[in-house]
A and B are shown apart, each in its own frame.
Chain A
Amino acid sequence: MDMPQPNASVLASKSLLVKRLQQVLPTDAVIHEEAETRAYECDALTAYRCPPLAAVLPANTEEVAAVMKICHDMGVPVVPRGAGTSLAGGSLPTADSVILGVSRMNEVLETDYENRFIRVQTGRTNLSVTGAVEENDFFYAPDPSSQLACAIAGNVGMNSGGAHCLKYGVTTNNLMGVTMVLMDGTVVELGGAHVDAGGLDLLGVVCGSEGQLGVVTEATLRILHKPEGARPVLMGFDSNEVAGQCVSDIIKAGVLPVAIEFMDRPVIRATEAFAGAGYPDCESLLIVEVEGSEEEIAEQLDKILAIARSHNPVELRESTNADESARIWLGRKSAFGAMGQINDYMCLDGTIPVNQLPYVLRRIGEMSQQYGLGVGNVFHAGDGNMHPLILFDANKPGDLELCERFGADILKLCVEVGGCLTGEHGVGIEKRDLMVDQFDPDDLDIQMAVKDVFDPDWLLNPAKVFPLAASEARRMAAE
């Protein structure tokens, strides 16, 4: 994966830059010793590493604005970083960049149950947003699987999803407003405690812009009252086609489960060995969860079970208590860990139209044979967001590259059947060069034109999202 050559004059200005940053931030908030900047050399896409020139940890919007002004003034690229859990390399630094970490900005600024929102600093973790309101039985709906660690800043940057977005939507559907610092240090407010934009929906384009338009320092998030209860049901099938059809039939029947999770045989076997959840040994397995009162749950499950039975499941497991529910979820929740026990793996994130599920799974199986690399599938089936896990050996020369080529082929397949490269992880550097498979040059140009407006000098996270060749002229013009 190529990254642009660091700007030599920026590298040469390090000591002046550090001095200026120290004038606006507490000493311990400016990290510049080589041994310490290494802590910021990568995010959760650990295959790529590069220590930044420096890292800063501002505590509020004003400090962020001061940092941005200095970097803008000196022509230093800024790479915003939430909790560093990006699987796409969204916060991978370059040697000439300053990492702007929001980890010290984790305060709850306002909680308003009457109007059902919470306003937080964006360094706060996803789960601790819910943590701040759960004593009143409220929650923040988007629940990426990294929610214990990931920050709201990153959630906004990547427009994160989660297992429950079939019902509750993704970040953009739950984000009401932001305070954002532009590259030149200007602070803007978009949205707020009211809904919808009064003019152009700039908030809508900021969400998911991967830290390329501004640094989001505060966010107003919609909170909801928790449902009275939730219950999963597990179903096993002897073919992916049948499981896929079952998903489609459930959706068509008018039931809207909060989650429909899918696992295939390799993942089922791995999780059984790892967690022993007692899953059946079958081709594919669905976990469908519904919410509501006892009666409402029963009403929905009746319909879902009837549909499942019509597809001759090899197993149909209902839960009668919290323990049984937890056991149904146990394997799914430990799936990634279980796969990690077997091997190194690369987690993909393409989305496909739900009815293409059987075809795409079959093609992935065929490609797995061709590449000689194993693959397991565990994903959010209700919305077609797939997470194929390609197994490889990081210590074997050439295996990572082979795995990347296999991954690229899977993502191209997703695009081919009418889907997209990434459903919730973001493009980052990982899928940057595949953008040309989904978009024509003009489609990319108009997106980059938006960045031109927010960040005319292309200093904010410049080497991400767009193929380097496509963004080169813009990045060079600014240098």
Chain B
Amino acid sequence: MMTPQTEADLAEIIAGAAGPLQVQGGGTRPIGVPVEGELLQTGGMSGIDLYEPGALTLVVKAGTPLAEVEAALDAEGQRLPFEPMDHRVLLGTSGEPTVGGMAAANVSGPRRIQAGACRDFMLGVRFVDGMGRVLKNGGRVMKNVTGYDLVKLMAGSYGTLGVLSEVSFKVLPKPETAATIRVAGLSDERAVAAMAAALGSPFDVSGAAHLPQGPEGAALTMIRVEGFEKSVAYRAEQLKSRLSAFGEVAVDTGAEKIAADWKRLRDVEAFAGQPGDVWRISVKPSDAPTLGAALKAEGLIYDWGGGLVWALVGAGRDIRPALAGIGGHATLVRASEETRKTIPVFQPEPGPVAALSQGVRAKFDPRGILNPGLMG
């Protein structure tokens, strides 16, 4: 195992690598086709380089534990707005998630629907490409169109284009308070319609999820609003009255319960320890109920107003046929190594798009040594 302590170390290791490398942050998100190769762990490159709360910017080394970053932000009343999921419970992993791993997997949570994804808050990256070159793109300012946006390309590239050494983020203030508006007992279709009504309102909804099997057994639809106290109270009331057309509505205002409910959703805890594979499917929200029915899943969770479907299905079953004619993409997030070697983990792309992706990979990593084959 190799553990570079600096970006220069990292460059030297990659430039001198004789064979494939398995790139890892904290090792808590083993998503993708299993990779054969020497383990390269980024945890040695750790620390916050710059944090300016008044400019909403944070620059951090890629191997920094996410917990350390969140604590630093919390101390200033700020946060990573995209609410990154913690995969440990779902995937049964241990260790410390790192900033680089989160960025490389473009990990977002329920607030993605309002605030944007991890990629939307990444302002800049430094990374080492497959030839051992230290490269940078973007920066640490909020508006930047200087040259191509390779930051987006690095987000969600799972270490196949380069190994991140530093990432800068836009951060946002933590809201004063939050409320969850709950509707019980809705069918998937009615729930998606209710969520669309909430998301299409002027009330700045920061979470919209539907659990066909809620914690108490019955279906539960949850809408979240966040902000200053009076504003949250006002919006919760408005949404309550709008949603009453769909069913019985209640409003939660207890901070702890709200945080716990959305964390459980964010981390897909309902599928933790349950037998079967877990798929993550991004679709047009109104297609979600049709897809949900076609999946014949053991369990379903709808987030992002229906735009994100989590499905628990029998081990080794390819669900992609159910997606045909619907559009969107599916990722096999949890399955045995065997299954991940036979069913494509990432959505296969149409020929011309696949050729572009392959071409980009060949430019960034001509020797094919960075997590080779991980994305298919």
A295 lies within 8 A of chain B by Cβ: yes
- Residues on A with beta carbons closer than 8 Å to the beta carbon of B155: 201, 204
- Contact A256-B172, Cβ < 8 Å, known A205-B149, A420-B146: yes
Measured between C-beta atoms, what is the minimum distance from A169 to chain B in Å? 6
- Contact A198-B285, Cβ < 8 Å, known A228-B202, A427-B146, A443-B135: no
The 4 closest A-B pairs by CB, nearest first: A204-B152, A198-B329, A248-B54, A254-B173
Which stretch from A310-318, A398-406, A431-439 is at the chain B interface? A431-439
Q: Complex formed: what's the CA distance from A199 to B157 in Å? A: 7
Measured between C-beta atoms, what is the minimum distance from B374 to chain A in Å? 11
Which stretch from A5-13, A231-239, A328-336, A444-452 is at the chain B interface? A444-452
Interchain CB contact (< 8 A) of B234 among A189, A256, A293, A452: A293
Contact A201 B119 (CB under 8 A): yes
B contact set with A: CB distance below 8 Å: 52-57, 76-77, 106, 108, 112, 116-117, 119-120, 129, 133-137, 139-153, 155-157, 161, 172-176, 193, 196, 199-202, 204, 227-228, 230-231, 234, 282-286, 304, 307, 327-331, 346-347, 349-350, 352-353, 356-357, 359-361, 363-364, 375-376
- Residues on B with beta carbons closer than 8 Å to the beta carbon of A201: 106, 119, 152-153, 155-157
Contact A188 B284 (CB under 8 A): no
Contact A449 B363 (CB under 8 A): yes
Interface size class of A (residues with CB under 8 A): 35 or more
- Contact A254-B176, Cβ < 8 Å, known A202-B356, A418-B141, A442-B134: yes
Contact A254 B175 (CB under 8 A): yes
A389 lies within 8 A of chain B by Cβ: no
Q: Complex formed: what's the CA distance from A209 to B153 in Å? A: 12
Contact A207 B57 (CB under 8 A): no
A477 lies within 8 A of chain B by Cβ: no
Contact A116 B200 (CB under 8 A): yes
Contact B346 A198 (CB under 8 A): yes
Contact A355 B55 (CB under 8 A): yes
Contact B349 A351 (CB under 8 A): no
Contact mask A263-282 → B, CB, 8 Å, 1/0?
Answer: 00000000000000000000
- Residues on A with beta carbons closer than 8 Å to the beta carbon of B376: 199
Contact A199 B347 (CB under 8 A): yes
- Residues on A with beta carbons closer than 8 Å to the beta carbon of B77: 254
Contact A193 B284 (CB under 8 A): yes
Contact B173 A200 (CB under 8 A): no
- Residues on A with beta carbons closer than 8 Å to the beta carbon of B283: 194
Contact A200 B234 (CB under 8 A): no
A-B contact pairs, 12 of them (CB 8 A): A113-B200, A138-B200, A199-B347, A204-B149, A205-B152, A225-B200, A252-B76, A253-B173, A303-B228, A353-B140, A383-B142, A424-B143
Interchain CB contact (< 8 A) of A299 among B148, B230, B360, B364: B230
Q: Complex formed: what's the CA distance from A438 to B148 in Å? A: 13
A165 lies within 8 A of chain B by Cβ: yes
A259 lies within 8 A of chain B by Cβ: no
Interchain CB contact (< 8 A) of B149 among A172, A196, A418: A172
Q: Complex formed: what's the CA distance from A412 to B161 in Å? A: 30
Contact B142 A384 (CB under 8 A): yes
Contact A202 B147 (CB under 8 A): no
- Residues on B with beta carbons closer than 8 Å to the beta carbon of A72: none
A38 lies within 8 A of chain B by Cβ: no
Measured between C-beta atoms, what is the minimum distance from B257 to chain A in Å? 22
Contact B360 A190 (CB under 8 A): no
Contact A182 B352 (CB under 8 A): yes
Contact B141 A351 (CB under 8 A): yes
Contact B282 A453 (CB under 8 A): no
- Residues on A with beta carbons closer than 8 Å to the beta carbon of B134: 442
Q: Complex formed: what's the CA distance from A447 to B154 in Å? A: 12
A413 lies within 8 A of chain B by Cβ: no
